[in-house]
Amino acid sequence: MKSILVTGGNSGIGYAIAALSKERGYRVTICGRDADRVTKAAGELGVEAVIADISCPEQIESLALQFVDEGLDVLVNNAAIARFKPIIEHSLEDYDEFFKVNIRGPLLLTQKLLPALQKKKGCVTNISSIISNNGLPNASLYAASKGAMDGFTRSIALELAPHGVRVNCVAPGAIDTPLVNKLGLSPEQISSIKAHQETIIPLGRYGAAEEVAHVVLAQIESSYVTGSLWAVDGGVDAT
């Protein structure tokens, strides 16, 4: 049975990836920093749970050690933070948090899990965002961190190809997940933003987390694909 680790697997896109992986016969482990939420999600999904904060190097080290002996077939770097506000309002603390969680964490976790991935000739899928390619007002730090993820993906894909480890990226667009409700906006504001965005999405709607999950699994199972970024955005990147 192939094994998969999904960071931030307790909600949204990560939860959907874990659910579909379980359905496809993978041995699934999800991790996150909120013990109650991760334990609850793991129970619902029937998968294994590990409590770990990917902004903390020591916890990344402990997480990776759990896969050293048996190896790991798939790592999905999904955990991330997203907060939107004007650049004038960002602090150094905001900068540090975005880059610790959204890029340093995935980089360190991939590094520490490399022996386990090499053992299984495994693969890595990083969850990015089309925002890094298209831009969005009030999203400078989020976009910067996801742009870093894209560059990181392409570079280590070339570096690790001789070792039999594939590295790719999936870039979602407007996806209807609980993340939308964490932006500090009123329900009316969220509805207004969604209505506007749906007018500029060629398919005319928000995507579902399950639709992203299907693309992630397709990428994982596409054995001749590495260094690629697949957009899941209803056609926005083509406009």
List the catalytic residue out of 15, 26, 142, 224: 142
Helix 57-65 with 105-120: angle, nearest 10 deg: 10
**DSSP 3-state of 189:** helix
Residues 212, 36: Cα–Cα separation, whole Å:
25
Residues 16, 9: Cα–Cα separation, whole Å:
8
CB atoms within 10 A of CB 102: 26
CB atoms within 10 A of CB 79: 25
CB atoms within 10 A of CB 198: 14
Q: Are 167 and 123 in contact (CB under 8 A)?
A: yes
Whether 142 is a known active-site residue: answer yes
Residues 203, 14: Cα–Cα separation, whole Å:
23
CB contact set of 15 (below 8 Å; sequence gap of 6+): 9, 30, 41, 45, 209
Residue with tokens 């990428």: 219
Report the amino acid identity of residue 218. Answer: A
Residues 62, 58: Cα–Cα separation, whole Å:
6
Known catalytic residues are 142
